[in-house]
Amino acid sequence: MNTIKWTQKAAKQLRKLDRQHQVAVRDGVSTLAAMPDCLSVKALTDHEHGYRLRVGNYRVLFNWDGAIRVVEIEEVRKRNERTY
């Protein structure tokens, strides 16, 4: 089981979303407790964050340390044509 920690930046971005999107993102992030056995998670290469989780049109960027078992949520962004 992993511990999920939100950075201040990510928590602030989450609060700015509509209520229904907040719930969807929180539900998606709660599945990260079972990391590495998660769906919609992709390891990123040449990016400042190690992984991303897809939740509808939103992307949750995070780092995961397998040894310590901490998932640190770094950023929540809406997907557009220039996301990556």
Residue with tokens 């770094």: 74
Number of C-beta neighbours around residue 30 at 10 A:
10
Tell me whether residue 84 is in a domain.
no
Q: Identify the pLDDT of residue 76.
A: 81
Tell me whether residue 41 is in a domain.
yes
Reported as a single tens digit per residue, the pLDDT across 26-77 is: 998 888 887 777 878 888 888 888 888 888 888 888 888 776 566 677 778 7
In this model, does residue 19 exceed pLDDT 90? Answer: yes
Range of the domain at 27: 3-78
Is the model more confident about 24 or about 67?
A: 24
Say if CB 53 and CB 44 are below 8 A apart. Answer: no
Tell me whether residue 13 is in a domain.
yes
pLDDT band at 20, cuts 50/70/90? very high
Number of compact structural domains in the chain: 1
Query: 73: which residues sit within 8 A by CB, 6+ positions away?
Result: 4, 5, 6, 7, 10, 29, 60, 61, 62
**CATH for 53:** 3.30.2310.20
Note the Cα 72 to chain centre separation in Å. 8
